[in-house]
Structure 1
């Protein structure tokens, strides 16, 4: 069985990502969805008053836990309307969301984390969406980031964006094969640099590594890397962009606020951050 972990904070952003996961699970069998919510209360909150002179009491904590469990059950029912056959588990932890994610991954085999990214003018902004890149850096498993305008489509065409540099070190072939082998897809490899800057030896390595997927190679010399990827994805009507957030700064900052509008707001295409 494959397992998807979906951190939720009851925002519209998180609910959208959860619904996307339910639609994704509908196309395949043997998938489990885990709805994870974290409710962390520090010891200081139980002994020091807030700005409103309110101290977090045991009764308040118990009520909050009850309300969160009810909210998780409500979200679960919504997902079952999308996929009545879905195997859905709800989980409420008392740790921070990042620690909760890492502990759950250590506890059982998680194949994919699915989170939503915030919209440009989101009225119901998600803390999880705001920390998408932080979660992806801490996670040892792939993270799928679903933009607010992304509606699930059967994955037929996938874009792998890279720069043809140090391909042996940068491309996590095990994770890539695991993802691509589950779908009958057309793979488009986009070099985010001009043909003039390509190292022929690195290009040979990449062609050899990906030969089983029969990819088609494309090149982009757009002055704005992210805009170039988004423009290409739209033109090709791709359903997924795969990025490799390892050593290259533009991928490291892929989901920071400064560029999120370019990739996740203006684009309808979900972004898969692959890890080793």
Structure 2
């Protein structure tokens, strides 16, 4: 069974990611979705009043837990409207979102974490969207980041963005094979040349590593690597961009506010962050 973990905070960003997960589960047989909401109250909050002079009492906490559980059930109903046969579990934890995600992943076999990325107009809307990078860095399993305009499409073509540097150390082959073995998709490997000379030895290593998947190799010149990748994905009508974030520089820039228009606003393509 494929299990998808979807952290939610009841924002439009998170709801969109949850609905995307429901459509994905409809396309994938024998799958389960876990909706996770984290309600963490620090010691500081339980002692001192808020700016509105409200003290977080036990009664307040109990009321908030009830409200959140009801919101989780409402979201579950919306997802079942998309996929009536979906198996959906809801969980409310009292830890921080990051700790909650890691604990859930350690407790059961999660195949994929699905989160929404905030768009430019909603950059402060979702705490989860704002912490996409932190979640991705800490997650031991792949993370799929869904931009606001990304509607679910059957994955037929994926772009693997790679700079052909230290490919043996950078490419998470186990995770990549796991994804590609479950989807009959066309793989396009893209190198964006930002002025660096391609290392032919590294290029050969890459061809050997990926030969079982019969990918097509493409080379493009673009001063802005992210714009180049997004443009290529759009021209090729790809349904997915696969990022290899060994050092996270590429993924961080993808979701950084200053370049939000480059992917999370203009792109309709989700980004899969792979890790071994």
Check whether TM > 0.5: yes
The residue number in structure 1 matching 2:16 is 16
SS at match of 2:255: coil
1:108 alignment partner in structure 2: 108
Matched residue of 1:210: which SS?
helix
| Residue aligning to 2:87 | 87
Task: Name the structure 2 match of 1:205.
Answer: 205
Query: In the TM superposition, what is the alpha-carbon distance from 1:196 to its structure 2 partner?
Result: 6.8
Alignment map for 1:194-273 (pairs within 5 Å): 197-247=197-247, 249-273=249-273
Q: How many residues align?
A: 276
Note the 1:159-174 alignment, pairs <5 A.
Answer: 159-174=159-174
RMSD: 1.4
Distance in 1, matches of 2:100 and 2:29, equals 27
Q: What per-residue deviation string (whole Å, max 9, x for no partner) do you get for residues 16-54 of structure 1?
A: 000000001101111110000000001221221112221
Deviation track 1:166-210 (CA, whole Å, cap 9, x = no partner) reads: 000000000001111111101000012269711111111100111
Where 1:140 maps in the other structure, the secondary structure is coil
State the alpha-carbon separation in 1 of the partners of residues 122 and 139 from structure 2: 25
| CA pair 123-227 structure 1, distance change in 2 beyond 3 A | closer
Distance across 1 between alignment mates of 2:195 and 2:97:
43
Decide whether the 8 Å contact of 1:13 with 1:124 is kept in 2: no
Indicate the SS of the match to 1:137.
Answer: helix
SS in 1 for 2:34: strand
Matches of 1:23 and 1:249, distance apart in 2: 30
Q: Does 1:180 align with 2:180?
A: yes
Q: Distance in 2 between matches of 1:125 and 1:48?
A: 25
Contact 1:48 1:55 in 2 (8 A): yes
Contact map agreement 2:194 2:224 (CA 8 A) in 1: no
Question: Alpha carbons of 1:7 and 1:205: their partners in 2 closer, same or farther (altered >3 Å)?
Answer: same
Q: What is the aligned partner in structure 1 of residue 126 from structure 2?
A: 126
Whole-angstrom distance in 2 between the partners of 1:36 and 1:192: 37
Counterpart Cα distance in 2 of 1:123 and 1:161: 25
Question: TM-score, normalised to structure 1's length?
Answer: 0.97
Tell whether the 8 Å contact from 2:6 to 2:113 is kept in structure 1 after alignment: yes
Contact 2:137 2:248 in 1 (8 A): no
- Compute the TM-score of the two structures, normalised by the length of structure 2: 0.97
Unmatched 5+ stretches in structure 2:
none
Contact 2:6 2:115 in 1 (8 A): yes
Q: Is the Cα contact below 8 Å between 2:123 and 2:257 reproduced in 1?
A: no
Q: Residues of 1 paired with 2:186 and 2:62: CA distance?
A: 50
Return closer, same or farther for 1:248/1:22 CA change in 2, 3 Å cut-off.
closer
Q: Indicate if the aligned counterparts of 2:194 and 2:223 stay in contact, CA closer than 8 A.
A: no
Cα distance in 2 for partners of 1:61, 1:8 equals: 18
